[in-house]
Amino acid sequence: MGATVSDTDTCRRWTIAISQLKSRAAKVRRGGVPNETADLVEQCLTMCDAVVRDLAGAGLQLDESRLKLDSQISLWTHLFDEMPTACVETDASGVILGANRAAAVLFNTSVKHLSARLLMHFAEDRDQFGQLLRGLSADGARHRCALIIRPRERAPVHMEATVVVRSPGDLSSWLWFFTPLEQHEHAARRHTRVPLETTQETARLSS
């Protein structure tokens, strides 16, 4: 907001300065300056005035864009904090840049305490985790694997980690989504039962 006020004040000062120069130019014209020179000065001042007005309009558009951006950031932050799936944002080396509340519960610590820590510290198999990190940097694709997570002062838990880039084409920031491995096993069993149930129903109708 400070930058916006500064931009507005700058435009106001230039508007006042140009107005004063126009007054001085009018006095000089009445003093007998050649018309061509006076006209050229007037054109230059008019052009400067137009530039300042354009800059002021661009400043208003920039203010609107800032407000929209702030609104989108607030919405993203709210959704990130409130979503039930544990999510951690890291840089390419695995340093935690941000975490939501569900992640803090998973790691048995606070969101603030997770910031700037290595995510690897919570992995049971650090060699596996290191290989996963190298794979992210190598291809930039979505990765999914089973990990054993060691929360602070709690027993290890089996999780499935899905890792995606935060922004397409930018490999400097990654989002890690953690879900209990049991959920995926249950979902897999449920999907594998569907063909069997469908086959049994088809056989019953045929008979």
Going from N- to C-terminal start, the domains of the chain cover: 2-79, 83-187
Sign of CA dihedral 83, 150, 164, 160: negative
Q: Mean of the pLDDT values across residues 58-80?
A: 87
Q: Helices then strands (H, E): number in the chain?
A: 6, 5
In this prediction, residue 190 carries a pLDDT of: 54
Distance CA 112, CA 26 (A): 64
Q: CATH top-level class for 83-187?
A: alpha beta
Distance CA 124, CA 104 (A): 17
User: Measured over all CA atoms, what is the biggest interatomic distance in the chain, rounded to whole angstroms?
Assistant: 114
pLDDT band at 98; cut points 50, 70, 90: very high
Radius of gyration over every alpha carbon of the chain, rounded to an integer in angstroms: 31
In this prediction, residue 59 carries a pLDDT of: 76
Specify the range with the lowest mean pLDDT, choosing from 4-8, 17-21, 35-39, 203-207: 203-207
In this prediction, residue 184 carries a pLDDT of: 54
Distance CA 155, CA 140 (A): 32
- pLDDT digit string, tens, across residues 123-182: 999 999 999 998 887 877 889 999 999 999 999 999 999 999 998 888 999 999 999 987
In this prediction, residue 22 carries a pLDDT of: 73
In this prediction, residue 193 carries a pLDDT of: 47
Q: Mean of the pLDDT values across residues 61-77?
A: 88
In this prediction, residue 48 carries a pLDDT of: 80
160 - beta bridge partners? Answer: 146, 179
CA distances from 174 to 46, 99, 188 (A): 52, 12, 26
CA distances from 130 to 16, 92, 151, 158 (A): 62, 11, 18, 18
- Higher pLDDT: 191 or 7? It is 7
Structure tokens at 97: 């840049």
In this prediction, residue 102 carries a pLDDT of: 97
Q: Mean of the pLDDT values across residues 1-13?
A: 61
Check whether 187 has a pLDDT greater than 70. no
Check whether 111 has a pLDDT greater than 80. yes
- Interacting residues of 174 by C-beta distance below 8 A, sequence separation 6+: 89, 90, 91, 92, 136, 163, 164, 165, 166
How large a percentage of the chain has pLDDT more than 90?
42
How large a percentage of the chain has pLDDT more than 70?
80
